[in-house]
Amino acid sequence: MLLPEFINETSRIENFFDKELTRFQRDEWFRELKNISIQRYRQIVQEAFRKCKYMPKLADILEIQRSLTFNAPEVKEKVECDICNGTGFVMYKKHFKDGNREYDLDYAARCTCANGMSQNKNIPLITEVNLA
């Protein structure tokens, strides 16, 4: 975990319990927790919100770390695709004319492969914008 990520997440604890850590406490927390992932720390913070009645001490956070099962984010396997080169997106331009002014804007559409189908559904498919 990077220091800015740690500070951001730790400030959530401070805001939730309406109590700030001292600089020394914050430094000690980071020294003890810097080797865990930010996803894991976020999970620990959420559990502290549920379990702690008062601002947790470092010992409380470490106890939650030991006892909490880690739910790793689901990693979707990418497929090879000749249309989008595995990115899930196809970039295209639209030409516009506004009076005497002409310009092109860049757009993205989702590919119809598994990579594109797993992306945000608000982005149109290449078939919807007549690219396929």
Domain that holds residue 47: 3-67
Determine the length of the chain: 132
**How many structural domains compose the chain?**
2
> What's the CA dihedral at 114, 120, 121, 127 to 10 degrees?
-60
Per-residue pLDDT of the chain (132 residues; tens, 9 = 90+): 888 899 999 999 999 999 999 999 999 999 999 999 898 999 999 999 999 999 999 999 999 999 987 665 555 678 899 999 989 999 999 888 888 999 888 889 999 998 888 888 889 999 999 887
Q: How far is CA 64 from CA 7, 56, 77, in A?
A: 19, 10, 31
- What is this structure's pTM? 0.53
CB atoms within 10 A of CB 131: 16
Same domain, 52 and 82: no
Same domain, 52 and 84: no
Alpha helices in the chain (DSSP H): 3-17, 23-33, 38-51, 58-67, 114-117
Same domain, 47 and 27: yes
First to last CA, the chain: 42
Half-sphere exposure of 103 (CA within 13 A, CB side): 5
Same domain, 37 and 82: no
Domain boundary among 45, 67, 89: 67
- Quick: pLDDT tens for 53-77: 999 999 999 999 999 876 655 556 7
